[in-house]
Structure 1
Amino acid sequence: MASEFLGAARGLLACPVCGEPLDLVADGDRLVRAACKAGHSFDVARQGHLNLLGSAQPANADTVEMVEARTRVLASGAFDAVDAVLARRGSAARTVLDVGGGTGHHLARLLDALPAARGVSLDVSVPAARRAAKAHPRLASVVADAWGALPLRSRRFDLVTCLFAPRNMAEFARVLADRGLLLVVTPDAEHLASIRDTYGLLGIEGDKDDRLLRSASGHFETIGRQRVRSRVDADAALVRDLIAMGPNAFHGVPQDVEAIETRVAVSLWLFRPLR
């Protein structure tokens, strides 16, 4: 059952109230809550995820419709090339954190390639966390705000991944082990460019690379950058889903779309924490 997947997070979670370690508590064969020694307790949702947000999800969190669109896009194989590179770069990891993990797809594919590893998918969206809770037996799904103090213990992760998600570099450095690795995926200028240009979607900021490196400064050393490119022959349904899965969905998804050839074009950045 999905709640048992939370066992993947044993020894990794911290109380979002006081910072003490969180223990998972079972009732028979089912995990029912997480609790710390100070008495703070958090119930496991019946769908199998653990909500440590402490408030309602923000208005910009992924909706049910966005999560469904993302699920279909990822099932299409459009981002398989990205998953393959993540698996190669993270091959030494045994504990993995995926920040902004969404549906759990990317972490699940990574765990498929790492049979001895376990991971935590962290996302602020409850609909996304529900989906992630069923993504992989060695994946624990947690609802939390990536911009705040992460409800995770210090220096417990060999690998942190962050794909198109908020980057809290100070917290990433805190939870990574001394020789841990941070992998950040960012869109390049040509990423889905034909779709963005055709339908007037949100652009990609010209200074995004500089902002990433500035945010890493003082917490990480940059050890590499790999560009990933793959062609996507998108039919009309996939084009609509590519628009509907991201922030453009909050501005409306066009219904009258056509098949188009586009490209996944991203950079995979590699960082080591400064100690």
Structure 2
Amino acid sequence: MDPHILDRLRCPVCGEPLTETTAGTTGALRCPRRHSFDIARQGYVNLLAGRAPHTGDSAEMVAARADFLAAGHYDLICAALAGAAAETVGTAPAHEAGGEAPARGTERALGTYPLVVDAGAGTGRYLGAVLAALPDAVGLALDVSKPALRRAARAHPRAAAALADTWQRLPLADASTAVLLNVFAPRNGPEFHRVLDPAGTLLVVTPAADHLAELVDALDLLRVDPDKAERVAGSLGGHFTPVSSAVHRAELTLARPDVATLVGMGPSAWHTDRAALAARLAALPEPVRVTVAVRLDTLRPR
């Protein structure tokens, strides 16, 4: 694992620093108290302390998300996050964008390279976009879904991936993170505050009220909570101060198979009857016009 990332990781059991070993076929991370965490052959490390209460998104959901994002349909989210992160961290390069992280023995200390953490990273698409805009940064994707982490581990040359539950203590040192991303994912205010540098930034993306509005009634999808913004503020307000908030919108023109992929990658996939969805999709006029509307909140630790 990249030393500039490993330097910020902590044992989820005892909180001690971790070092990489060559034990086994793929290696492991180990702390001074001999707690050991295997690195999967797909590249991610399991940093759960015990068993997770849930397994996250299924392989089918992750595959749908990967296909939909790869088509560029949510690139406005990538651009918004990359722009906000660049404003926070700056873009003075220490190495070439998209390239490998600086090698051991360079003149800068390990802890001086900004760490971008995506809590609930999914496939790592958004983390990769932010790292592309921050050529001096390294990144860590955290998720509880193993199918997602298999993709996130390959999302960017300067990123690593770890299995971790956002609701538990994050496997990171205090004040270790420059930018924390949280995109359509659970929010753990106390832990986000603990791991963020006092000068760091939390970027939270949530659906706006009209997100996918054309599909909600037509396909009987889950509705956006009308109190979503207030709930986000309530979950973070005791630990963070709002800096800015902006809604980003775009209209997509999708074929019916793309709409099916969009539904299959999100929370409605857990609650939608496939036969009923197929019948409703067949009734939609093609192409299908869909509004993407998301809110990006920028916050700083109190």
- State whether structure 2 residue 87 is matched by structure 1 residue 87: no
Q: SS at the partner of 2:27?
A: strand
CA pair 74-108 structure 1, distance change in 2 beyond 3 A: same
Gapped regions of structure 1 (runs ≥ 5): none
CA pair 54-255 structure 1, distance change in 2 beyond 3 A: farther
Aligned to 2:36: 41
Aligned to 1:236: 256
Does structure 1 retain, via aligned residues, the 8 Å contact 2:26–2:40? Answer: no
Please give the root-mean-square deviation of Cα atoms over the aligned residues, in Å.
Answer: 1.8
Deviant stretches of 4+, over 6 Å:
none
The equivalences for 1:48-87 within 5 A come to 48-59=43-54, 61-87=56-82
Does structure 1 retain, via aligned residues, the 8 Å contact 2:28–2:36? Answer: yes
Residue deviations 1:149-206 (CA, integer Å, cap 9, x gap): 1111110111001000000011011101110000000101100111122101111111
What amino acid is aligned across from residue 248 of structure 1 in structure 2? S
CA pair 130-177 structure 1, distance change in 2 beyond 3 A: same
What is the rounded CA distance, in whole Å, between the counterparts of 1:224 and 1:265 in structure 2?
A: 17
Residue deviations 1:49-106 (CA, integer Å, cap 9, x gap): 0011245554461000000000011011111111111111101432100010000111
Aligned to 1:136: 156
What amino acid is aligned across from residue 229 of structure 1 in structure 2? R
TM-score by length of 2: 0.85
Does structure 2 retain, via aligned residues, the 8 Å contact 1:52–1:142? Answer: yes
- Structure having the higher strand fraction is 1
Aligned to 2:137: 117
What amino acid is aligned across from residue 122 of structure 2 in structure 1? G
What is the rounded CA distance, in whole Å, between the counterparts of 1:130 and 1:119 in structure 2?
A: 15
Gapped regions of structure 2 (runs ≥ 5): 90-113
What is the rounded CA distance, in whole Å, between the counterparts of 1:89 and 1:181 in structure 2?
A: 9
What amino acid is aligned across from residue 72 of structure 2 in structure 1? G
What is the rounded CA distance, in whole Å, between the counterparts of 2:257 and 2:229 in structure 1?
A: 31
Q: SS at the partner of 1:90?
A: helix
Shift of 1:123: 0.4
CA pair 57-236 structure 1, distance change in 2 beyond 3 A: farther
Q: Which of 15, 21, 44 matches 1:19?
A: 15
Aligned to 1:265: 293
Q: Which of 197, 201, 206 matches 2:221?
A: 201
Q: Count matched residues.
A: 269
Q: Which of 240, 253, 261 matches 1:220?
A: 240
Residue identity over aligned pairs, in percent, reads 43
What amino acid is aligned across from residue 45 of structure 2 in structure 1? L
